[in-house]
């Protein structure tokens, strides 16, 4: 198996998802000087109390990471149709992640004095872009293999 561009993109996308799972996403400071930090699995105030459980964020990231791992393992067999389907599912999961993220941000924004997004809130977008690049690389690789097979001629 040759190491191709889509493999590198998928490994980098999985690394971005793992980093995003480990760090907080955004911090809200309310008018009564309390601060709440939104992570992928819970919201925590400065005292360490857990207020709500946005488990859907973490679940969508874990599902997209597992889907990317599946696509990376399928790459060994060069099943391009299944790779493309898996990458489409991954892109849909990451898009759904941002929709759920926006819902949670708007829910927590009541009486907010200041909002401080962290650098990790952009990592799923980076993963989405890398997944799209991997999708295009799989399409290009499949087209190259088909073109080389069409040029193959049997000798008499």
- The average pLDDT across 18-23 equals 93
Task: Provide the pLDDT for residue 55.
Answer: 87
pLDDT at residue 126 above 90? yes
Task: Provide the pLDDT for residue 110.
Answer: 75
Q: Is 35 helix (H, G, I), strand (E, B) or coil?
A: strand
DSSP 58-114: HHHHHHHHHHHHHHHHHGGGT-HHHHHHHHHHHHHHHHHHHHHHHHHHHHHTTTEEE
CATH number for the domain running over 5-146: 1.20.140.150
Please indicate whether residue 67 or residue 109 has the higher confidence score (pLDDT): 67
Task: Provide the pLDDT for residue 22.
Answer: 92
pTM for the complete prediction?
0.86
- The average pLDDT across 17-45 equals 87
* Token couple for 65: 């990471």
- The average pLDDT across 82-104 equals 93
Task: Provide the pLDDT for residue 90.
Answer: 96
Average pLDDT, the chain: 87
* Token couple for 147: 């073109």
Torsion angle in degrees (nearest 10) through CA of 57, 24, 117, 63? -30
Q: How far is C-alpha 16 from the geometric centre of its chain's CA atoms?
A: 7
Beta strands at 35-38 and 43-45: parallel, antiparallel or unpaired:
antiparallel
pLDDT at residue 149 above 80? no
First to last CA, the chain: 31
Task: Provide the pLDDT for residue 83.
Answer: 92
């Amino acid at each position: 198996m040759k190491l191709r561009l889509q493999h590198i993109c998928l490994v980098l996308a999985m690394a971005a998802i793992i980093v995003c799972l480990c760090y907080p996403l955004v911090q809200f400071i309310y008018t009564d000087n309390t601060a709440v930090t939104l992570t992928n699995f819970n919201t925590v105030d400065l005292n360490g109390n857990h207020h709500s459980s946005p488990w859907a964020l973490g679940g969508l990231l874990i599902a997209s990471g597992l889907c990317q791992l599946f696509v990376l393992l399928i790459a060994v067999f060069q099943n391009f149709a299944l790779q493309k389907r898996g990458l489409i599912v991954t892109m849909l999961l990451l898009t759904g992640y941002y929709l759920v993220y926006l819902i949670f941000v708007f829910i927590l924004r009541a009486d907010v004095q200041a909002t401080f997004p962290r650098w990790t809130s952009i990592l799923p977008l980076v993963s989405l872009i890398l997944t799209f690049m991997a999708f295009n690389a799989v399409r290009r690789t499949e087209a190259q293999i088909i073109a080389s097979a069409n040029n193959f001629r049997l000798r008499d």
